[in-house]
Structure 1
């Protein structure tokens, strides 16, 4: 490895899953430098080896009351495998081989590790500054549809739809979106937006609307109250299917044909999710659902710490005998990825393509 040029090493490292990078930084200073280089991620893009990575943002309260909470970022990685130290003699090797045969292989373990983002590092884990929007928004809501990000004001009335801006991720340019007539909303508040089936859905307390970019047209969508997910509930669209925990300790999916929410089957072994929506996050993790939730740890003196759980669920659509479509989930892994103080709060969970 010492005699290999950096270009060849970068080519090799680019073919390794991003989950192993925190482990590779422990190999040597040279590996640590290469893993942190922007050239590595450029090589991954050229080789088409990009993958979805999870970034978690937590808020940690300061011991000083006058200081605001400090956000910290974490990323998901694979825990290093512990290998027992070898000893001399055939007896040890024989026992080790017998032990391997008897024991079933343990599932891969994952954990969240802290990433240095001090005003953000100039190499990896880097935030790219985009051109400023034309308007300052107090409660911005953003959704991505076909490579474009639509931003509007959340928790606002009809006037918020008069100032929708669109950011093209390729051209890095902002443009205004022709907005619907204010009277269509009839004073209802804008709660959330979603990108699904190549369309932008804007949900309000009264009526909801859909924008079709190809036709450049707005239409009213009639959505029953029973169909709308709770405003503070996490909601994600994976392969044009909407999922939400729905404040019921289970994950539901939205049946667009039957216009109803249905339980995602096949998750009997998934622990019950918290009913409080602020403690659950769902994101699209490369075509799968990544679920992250926070549970308090009860101790002899009460709740002292919090455990952050994470699960990755593969989803599959099936047709039953009565031709009714069902969606099944398969848990790929599920366990605790981080333990934090009770003063810590969950802010956001982001999937990033790198």
Structure 2
């Protein structure tokens, strides 16, 4: 009450679109998945390209967003999730605990796993993975992906049981699928990396035609180009891992080679370089340093000494699983985002938890890099039958 005039709260749903877009443009994108639950109108505004034009005009920097792809049963289509942050609020003296809005947005995600104690509840960081609805459908299955800007490119796989050369990409601003130009060759086991703004696709299947080993896609010209293969003396029978490091493309298998795009040249690598160890674990490259998970520890590659060192300062990080299929790590804006599976230790449980952690990095000298855990939490609980496909950082 002010001077006898009763004030009334602002009714957000009835504000004009241009004003709402201006407000939403000032909010971190980490809250957009939660805001899209408010109403169909909010969902439409949050997924509009106009919102990102306004964010640019407002001078907001691009943000790094995490995306996760899961397959819940054999033969089913992948489902996509994105990391969001549960908003904080001042607790109401008499909260409506039965409210659908309260339940979905503010209550800790404790279902489908053991009841947490009050001490555990306090540890919840407020980060969780939420399913994203897409306005259309990507027909590829068994695919591999990588990112350029705000697009996730889906490459290789099958359509109706037939190996396909078609390529699709997800626009992570509007969560809509689009089709890109098809590859020159349908690939059974493509390994995908991005180098100098171009997508390199390498066929990893043993017994493949080496004359069509690699092709690259330039998003600017929307064209695919062929890359000459290494000589018969250099190449091996198969390729298990490819890595972009120091502006070069490394291929690891029973033989190791490196492609130098600026010179358009292949060189053989000896096993003494030790970088080939990335074939045995999940890895990522940040500020020209390669990190990976090896035997439940995070290590980094010392390019001068040509050996791997332990990433220090992570004593409080939960134990990681050794299986590569259960762990993923990516460059998350100069930090490590690592995601892994962990069983629910309850007799008869058919669930498993997906953990995620964000780790800041500090190089103290030539031989020491320390990690600092920014947050670490269970972000999703899924059935044991669920398979971890892709974990990707997108710049939006």
- TM-score in same-fold range (> 0.5): yes
**CA spacing shift, 1:289–1:27, aligned 2, 3 Å:** same
Between the aligned partners of 1:144 and 1:316, the Cα distance in structure 2 is 25
Ranges in structure 1 where 5+ consecutive residues have no aligned partner: 62-66, 88-104
Mapping for residues 205-354 of structure 1, pairs under 5 Å: 205-206=254-255, 208-224=256-272, 227-229=275-277, 231=279, 233-246=281-294, 248-301=295-348, 303-319=349-365, 324-354=366-396
Computed over aligned residues only, the root mean square deviation of the Cα atoms, in angstroms, reads 2.5
Q: Find the residue that maps to 2:229 and give its secondary structure.
A: coil
Say if 2:252 and 2:279, in contact at 8 Å, map to a contact too.
no
- Residue of 208, 212, 234 corresponding to 1:184: 234
Q: Find the residue that maps to 2:252 and give its secondary structure.
A: strand
**CA spacing shift, 1:258–1:188, aligned 2, 3 Å:** farther
Q: 2:64 aligned with 1:52, yes or no? A: yes
Between the aligned partners of 1:136 and 1:26, the Cα distance in structure 2 is 39
Between the aligned partners of 2:275 and 2:325, the Cα distance in structure 1 is 20
**CA spacing shift, 1:250–1:341, aligned 2, 3 Å:** same
Q: Find the residue that maps to 2:318 and give its secondary structure.
A: coil
Deviations 1:276-303 (A, max 9, x none): 11110011111111100000112133x4
State the number of aligned residues.
Answer: 324
Say if 1:161 and 1:180, in contact at 8 Å, map to a contact too.
no
Say if 2:210 and 2:229, in contact at 8 Å, map to a contact too.
no
Between the aligned partners of 2:273 and 2:304, the Cα distance in structure 1 is 16
Q: Find the residue that maps to 1:343 and give its secondary structure.
A: coil
Say if 1:250 and 1:263, in contact at 8 Å, map to a contact too.
yes
Match of 2:167 in 1: none
Match of 1:16 in 2: 27
Match of 2:191 in 1: 141
Between the aligned partners of 2:223 and 2:18, the Cα distance in structure 1 is 34
Of the structure 1 ranges 281-290 and 8-17, higher mean CA displacement relative to structure 2 is found in 8-17
Deviations 1:156-202 (A, max 9, x none): 358436431111122221111232212222x3421211112221111
Between the aligned partners of 2:251 and 2:371, the Cα distance in structure 1 is 27
Between the aligned partners of 1:180 and 1:22, the Cα distance in structure 2 is 46
Deviation, structure 1 residue 228: 2.3
Deviation, structure 1 residue 272: 0.8
Match of 1:129 in 2: 179
Compute the TM-score of the two structures, normalised by the length of structure 1.
0.83
Deviations 1:254-291 (A, max 9, x none): 11111111111111110010111111001111111110
Q: 2:44 aligned with 1:39, yes or no? A: no
Deviations 1:5-49 (A, max 9, x none): 433432332232111112222444432221122322344456453
- Residue of 229, 249, 270 corresponding to 1:200: 249
Between the aligned partners of 2:212 and 2:189, the Cα distance in structure 1 is 15
Q: Find the residue that maps to 2:271 and give its secondary structure.
A: coil
Compute the TM-score of the two structures, normalised by the length of structure 2.
0.75
Ranges in structure 2 where 5+ consecutive residues have no aligned partner: 1-11, 95-121, 139-169
Match of 2:86 in 1: 79
Q: 2:75 aligned with 1:68, yes or no? A: yes
**CA spacing shift, 1:127–1:286, aligned 2, 3 Å:** farther
